[in-house]
Homo-oligomer: A and B are copies of this chain.
Amino acid sequence: MPVGTLGSVKGVSQDVLEDLGVQILLGNTYHLYLRPGVDVVRRMGGLHGFMAWERAILTDSGGFQVFSLNELRKVSEEGVTFRSHLDGSSHFLSPEGAMEAQIGLGADIAMAFDECTEYPAEATRARASMEMTLRWAARSKKYFDEHKNEVPWKSSQVLALSSQEKRDRKRLQPSAVSRQEKQVLRSAQDDNSEKGLDGQTQALFGIVQGGMDRELRRESALRTVEIGFPGYAIGGLSVGEPRELTREIVESTLEHLPKDTPRYLMGVGTPEEIALYARMGVDMMDCVLPTRAARHGLLFTSEGRVSIKQARYAEDRGPLDPACSCGVCRRYSRAYLRHLYSANELLAQVLNTVHNLHFYLSTMRSVRESMRSAL
C-alpha cells in the first residue's frame, strides 16, 4: 500500500496511481484529523469522495503517529493527549475518538487504536503496554460496531455528487474495482451487519503488540483473535530493532494469526523485505520508503539502489532500470532524471515517485506470481 498521508500520494495524481495498478492506499488519520479535519472529509463523502479514489483505502488509527511525532504526548488509560505538530494546539485521542475519526474518513479498512510500544522496552513495560492495547482493542471494536453504520459512503451522499454533476467521473466507473478489492470489500461485508452503500461498510482490523518478546506476541495475537476482527495487523515493529529480530517476531506472530483472514505487517519495508514477508505469509504491508526515498533521489532498481544525484549519471543515456517497464524508464534517461534532481525541479519528485511505486508494485506482482505457480 502506497502511503497517501494527507489524501494524496505525494506528487502523483490518482489517474497515474490507477495506471500503476495501485489497488489500495493508506491514509493517515492523525494528519487528516488535523488537516482538513474529519468533519470536512466526512461531508465530502469520506476519503473516497474527497480524493476521488474509488479503489480501496486503509486508514491507520492515528496512534502510531501520535506516538512518533509528539514529544509532548501524555498517555493514560483513557487515551492520549498530544499537541498538533502544525500549531501546537492540544488534542485528545481515545480508542472511541480514533474510531469516530476513521468512520468519518470512511476508508474500507480502519485500524484499532493501539499503543506502539517503544524499543527497547523492559519486560514489565512491554506487558503493560500490550495489556492496554488489548483493552483499547475491545473498546475500539465496541465503538466501531455501534457506529459503523455512520460511514459516509453509505446511501445517497457519494452518488448524489455524480448525478448532480452529470459527469462521467472516472472514479465512479465500476471497471475500476479490481478482483482483489472486491475480496477486501466482501470481507468487510461478511463481518458487518450494518450495511452502507451497496450493502457494504468498513472493516476494523485488530493490532498485535508485545514488543520484541515472542511469548508476549503470542499472547497478544491469541487474545486479539479472541476479541475477533476480520483482519489482523502486526504493529510495533520497524521501530529501531535489528532486521533479523523483526523477521523473528513476524514469523512467530504469524503462527498465531488465522490464515484465512488478511494479515497486515505495518510500516515495512525495503523491496527485499516486503518480498520476504509476503513469502512468510504476510498479505498486506505499507511503507513510506518508496515515496519518501524517491523524493530524496534514492531509486530502487533491478540492479540495486541508484542515488540519482551522483555526477556519474550526468551523461548516462540509459534508462534508470533497463528491466523496468514503467513510463519513466520507457521514456527518460538517467541523465535527464539526474538533471531534474540536481536542478531541484518538481518533476524529479514526480517521476522518481512513479518509478519507485512501480518497482514496489511489480515486486509484489512477481511474488504473487511465484507463490501462485508454486501451489
Residues of A with Cβ closer than 8 Å to B? 6-15, 35-36, 40, 43-44, 50-52, 161, 165, 167-171, 314-315, 317-319, 327, 330-333, 335-336, 339-340, 342-343, 345-347, 349-351
Contacts and interface: CB of A to CB of B under 8 A. Distances in A.
Given A7-B339, A8-B345, A13-B351, A169 B36 contact: no
A343 B167 contact: no
Given A336-B52, A350-B13, A40 B171 contact: no
A317 B340 CA distance: 35
A318 B165 contact: yes
A33 to B, nearest CB: 13
18 contacts: A6-B339, A7-B336, A7-B339, A7-B340, A8-B346, A9-B347, A10-B345, A11-B347, A13-B350, A15-B331, A36-B339, A43-B315, A44-B336, A50-B335, A50-B339, A52-B331, A165-B319, A170-B330
Contacts of A13: 327, 347, 350-351
Contacts of A340: 6-8
B343 A169 contact: no
Q: Which of A40, A167, A340, A343 has the most B CB atoms < 10 Å from its CB?
A: A343
Counting every copy of the chain, the complex holds 2
A294 to B, nearest CB: 11
A116 to B, nearest CB: 24
A59 to B, nearest CB: 16
Contacts of A346: 8, 10-11, 346, 349-350
A168 to B, nearest CB: 8
A7 B346 CA distance: 12
Contacts of A332: 51-52
Contacts of A314: 36, 40
Contact of A331 (B14, B40, B330): B14
Given A169-B330, A346-B346, 4 more contacts: A7-B336, A8-B347, A40-B335, A167-B319
A157 to B, nearest CB: 10
A40 to B, nearest CB: 6
